[in-house]
Chains A and B, each alone.
Chain A
Amino acid sequence: MAIIETKNLSRLYQDGDHIIRAVDKVNLQIEAGEFTAIVGPSGSGKTTLLNLIGGLDSPTEGEVIVDGKAIHQLKDNALINFRLQHIGFVFQAYNLIPVLSAQENVEFIMLLQNASARERKTRAQELLKAVGLEAQMHKRPTELSGGQQQRVAVARALASKPSFVLADEPTANLDSKSTEDLLDIMHKLNQEEGITFIFSTHDQRVIDRASRIIYVEDGQIKESH
């Protein structure tokens, strides 16, 4: 069963007299356990499609169904809560909370879910260990390298036990070594724990690891394999 399904999904923007079709009548299904890369040239609509799937943006028309729920119909607070419970996010610029340690950043999501202190601590430590940061748990983001910060971001994305993780250009700011390390971790999590990852990316190393590639151009899916 598809965990993500879009039906005739469109997102239009007004730019002066012009209407830009950032996403244009996209029909897409993503199954649980996929390691999917959404690729395409800059301005092709990858990020907009990811935003719509993640409930961060509202479609102009069409439907987004996640875990059987039509999220395009949800109101603001319900949507925020849905994201908290069902979706993990990894951002290009890491976007960790700078005043919290690595462990606290991971625990933060679980705090929003009202998890107990013991559960938070145990799971945060397990996740940080899984991404190879057991020695850096108590360091703040400024004390970590870019690659380490992105690994904390992956641990944070997984903290809420989401149905899937959306990652927008997760390797864009990383060097080769960090990119390989991060991909190894995410691939391992996908293979061993069945976690679904959906990337938007330009990075060939990410594309090479993907189990499915969706090629987007002019807001439309041109190819999917």
Chain B
Amino acid sequence: MKTVFKIAWRNIWRNKLRSAVVVCSIFLGIWAGIFVSAFSFGLNEQRKESMIRNQISHLQIHNSAWLDQKEVAFTFLATAVDDLLNKDPRLEAFATRTKASGMVSSAHYSGAAQIIGVNPNAEAALSHLEEKLTEGEYFPEKGSNPVLIGRALAQKLEAKIGSRIILNFSDGQGNIISSAFKVKGFYKEVSSKMEELNLYVRQSDLQALLGLEPGQVHEIAALLKEDADIEIVQQELQAHFPALAIQSWQQLSPELAYADDIMTQMLYIIIGIIMLALSFGIINTMLMAVLERRKELGMLMCVGMSRTKVFSMIMVETFYLALLGGPLGILLAYYSVWQGSKSGLDLAVFSDGLASYGIDSVIYPALPSSFYWGTTAIVFIMTLLAAIYPARRALKLNPVETLRTI
């Protein structure tokens, strides 16, 4: 077989330009495929992370009845849960929230609103709400009924820092509450929809208006340090508080979990399609190489080279082309993804569209290392499959016909 490898290696350099074109097409195809995959994967990861960090967290705890109907009355006492979560070293942060659905209005605009009562310090640690402020103060100690609104809502309300807006919502007994709040800050979110919908007020202010006792909350959201702990912590909390609904982010947002699940499969399909297209180029090139060398291949069979060795030689030649183009493409892709993951790809021109899907305009390509191995395997499998047809054509050559004379 050593001879086969040696001749095959030299054969691929007979027509340098043709081999170089095939190597380049494999190399560019793989690079493009992996980079597009990394872009898609990174985009999906960012969307997932954004949703988890800004909206749903890793785990949420609710009164079981809240899941069916988001009524103000369906609260639970956070104290016991708080105590347990405070002691758990696996948690990065958690915060309690009191919520009410209602309307927000100013002299210029009126619209639906999700009013979220938060503990300022806990919320800052959990969702980094304070860092998202673009203007104003984060729940100053002085002054009553402060509210933080998103920039998109501020534009609609034509509100400025210090403006008064009216929030209308129902309390636990079904009474309509109408209360004035003073705008203390504007926050920025990756999702413009969230900026329009969510308003943040002090939890104590909202509890008082809803007629709830301190400690009565609608939601506890928690972030964990490691994704791997989510299921375990969820099960432990559920065991401690069987009456409460403890949900993971996958349960809270099934579409996000589904997108996460199918992403890797989708990326392999992209690579598979690219390699399928490339394999036709390989078949064409190797078929030309076989047909050009009919006489030589016939001679090899005449003088005693077995058909198995002739077949192997064509397979090895194709394998060499993949061996040159494949790793080069994978290495360049790895470098591009690594560079992109540091600097990010700024898609500011599409920022409005991306924001409506909750995605930041700077995309950081990323790929799990297993994908590189998977791609390598696909490249070599597809290349070898592509080599079979030309190699079989070589096998079918009749030595006498190829030589015409011995």
Q: B228 at interface (Cβ–Cβ under 8 A)?
A: no
Specify which chain B residues have a CB less than 8 angstroms from the CB of A113 in the assembled complex.
304
Q: Is B405 an interface residue (CB 8 A)?
A: yes
Nearest Cβ distance between residue B19 and chain A, in whole angstroms? 13
- A109-B303 in contact (CB<8A): yes
**Complex contact B406–A112 (CB within 8 A):** no
B303 touches A50 (CB 8 A): no
- Contact (Cβ within 8 A) A80 B307: yes
Please measure, in the bound complex, the distance between the C-alpha atom of A56 and the C-alpha atom of B298, giving whole angstroms. Answer: 10
* Cα–Cα distance between A108 and B399 once the two chains are bound (Å): 18
Chain A residue nearest to B403 (CB atoms) is: A91
Q: Are A92 and B11 within 8 A (Cβ)? A: no
Asked if B405 and A80 sit within 8 Å, CB to CB, the answer is no
B residues less than 8 Å from A100 (CB atoms): 7, 10
- The reply to whether B403 and A95 form a contact with Cβ atoms under 8 Å apart is yes
Is B406 a contact partner of A168 (Cβ separation < 8 A)?
yes
**Residues from chain B with Cβ under 8 Å of A81 in the complex:** 304, 306
A57 at the interface (CB under 8 A from B): yes
How many angstroms from the CA of A35 to the CA of B295 in the assembled complex? 27
User: Bound complex: CA of A172 vs CA of B2, how far in Å?
Assistant: 35
B405 and A109 contacting across the interface, CB-CB below 8 Å? no
State whether B14 touches A169 (Cβ < 8 A).
no
Query: Which of B14, B302, B309 meets A99, CB within 8 Å?
Result: B14
Query: Is the beta-carbon distance between A91 and B299 smaller than 8 angstroms?
Result: yes
- Contacts A95-B295, A112-B3 given; does A56 touch B302 at CB 8 Å: yes
Please indicate the chain A residues that have their CB under 8 angstroms from the CB of B307 in the complex: 76-77, 80
With both beta carbons as reference points, the residue of chain A lying nearest to B295 in the complex is identified as A95
The residues in B between 1 and 43 inclusive whose CB is less than 8 angstroms from any CB of A are 2-3, 7, 10-11, 13-14
Q: Are B306 and A54 in contact (CB under 8 A)?
A: no
Q: How large is the interface on A (under 10, 10 to 19, 20 to 34, 35 or more residues)?
A: 20 to 34
Question: In the complex, A57→B404 CA distance in Å?
Answer: 11
Task: List B168-196 residues whose CB lies under 8 Å from chain A.
Answer: none
CB of A214 within 8 Å of the partner chain? no
Say if the beta carbon of B400 comes within 8 Å of chain A.
yes
B2, B7, B13, B403 pick with most chain A CB within 10 angstroms: B403
- Give A166 to B304 CA distance when docked, in angstroms: 14
Q: In the complex the two chains form, what is the Cα distance from A103 to B174 in whole Å? A: 100
Contact of A95 among B11, B296, B304, B309 (CB under 8 A): B296
Q: Is the CB of A108 within 8 A of B3?
A: yes
Report whether A112 and B304 are in contact in the complex, using a CB–CB cutoff of 8 Å.
yes
Known contacts A80-B304, A80-B307, A81-B304: A91-B10 contact under CB 8 Å: no
A130 within 8 A of B: no
Interface size class of B (residues with CB under 8 A): 20 to 34
- CB closest residue in chain A, given B3: A111
Complex interface bits, B286-303 against A, C-beta within 8 A gives 1, otherwise 0: 000000000110011111
The answer to whether A160 has its CB under 8 Å from any CB of chain B is: yes
Could you say which residues of chain A place their CB within 8 Å of the CB of B304?
80-81, 83-85, 109, 112-113, 160
A/B pair count, beta carbons within 8 Å: 73
- Residues of A within 8 Å of B406, CB to CB, are 47, 50-51, 54, 56, 89, 91, 166, 168
Query: A44-59 toward B: CB 8 Å interface, digit per residue (1/0)?
Result: 0001001100101100
Contact A89 B303 (CB under 8 A): yes
Nearest CB of B to A71, in Å: 13
| A112 to B302 alpha-carbon distance, docked (Å) | 12
Out of A50, A99, A108, which one reaches B11, CB within 8 Å? A99
User: For residue A168, which residues in chain B have a CB less than 8 angstroms away from its CB?
Assistant: 405-406
State the Cβ distance, A77 to closest chain B Cβ, in Å. Answer: 6
> Given A92-B405, A95-B296 in contact, is the A57-B400 Cβ separation under 8 Å?
yes
B239 contacts the other chain (CB 8 A) = no
- A63–B10 Cα gap in the complex (Å)? 41
Instruction: Determine the chain B residues whose CB is within 8 A of the CB of A57 once the complex forms.
Output: 400
Q: How far is the CA of A152 from the CA of B302 in the complex (A)?
A: 17
Assess whether A43 is interfacial by the CB under 8 Å rule.
no
> B112 within 8 Å of A by Cβ?
no
Check if A80 sits within 8 Å of B306, measured CB to CB.
yes
**Nearest neighbor of B310 in chain A, beta-carbon distance:** A80
A120 to B7 alpha-carbon distance, docked (Å): 17
In the assembled complex, A41 has its CB within 8 A of some CB on chain B: no
In the complex, A98→B306 CA distance in Å? 19
Contact with A along B70-81 (1 / 0, CB 8 A): 000000000000
A97 interface residue (CB < 8 Å to B): yes
* Residue from A56, A84, A160, A169 having most chain B Cβ neighbours under 10 A: A56
Cα distance, A191 to B295, chains bound together (Å): 32
Cβ distance A46 to chain B, nearest Cβ, rounded Å: 9
B65 interface residue, CB < 8 Å from A?
Answer: no
In the complex with contacts A47-B405, A91-B405, A99-B10, A83-B400 CB distance below 8 A:
no
Chain B residues in 8 Å Cβ range of A51: 400, 406
Across the interface, B405 reaches (CB within 8 A) one of A97, A98, A169, namely A169
Q: Which among A51, A80, A156 has the highest number of chain B CB atoms within 10 Å?
A: A80
Check B243 for interface membership: any CB of A closer than 8 A: no
Question: Is B166 an interface residue, CB under 8 A from the partner?
Answer: no
Contact residues, A50-82 vs B (CB, 8 A): 50-51, 54, 56-57, 76-77, 80-81
Q: Quick check: is B305 within 8 A (CB to CB) of the other chain?
A: yes
Instruction: List B362-406 residues whose CB lies under 8 Å from chain A.
Output: 399-400, 403, 405-406
Given A80-B301, A89-B406, A111-B2, 18 other A-B contacts at CB below 8 A? A54-B406, A80-B305, A80-B307, A81-B306, A83-B304, A89-B303, A91-B405, A93-B295, A95-B299, A95-B403, A97-B296, A97-B300, A98-B296, A99-B7, A112-B305, A156-B303, A168-B406, A169-B405
7 contacts between A and B (CB under 8 A): A51-B406, A54-B406, A97-B296, A99-B7, A100-B10, A112-B309, A166-B406
5 closest Cβ pairs, A-B complex:
A84-B304, A99-B10, A95-B299, A111-B3, A168-B406
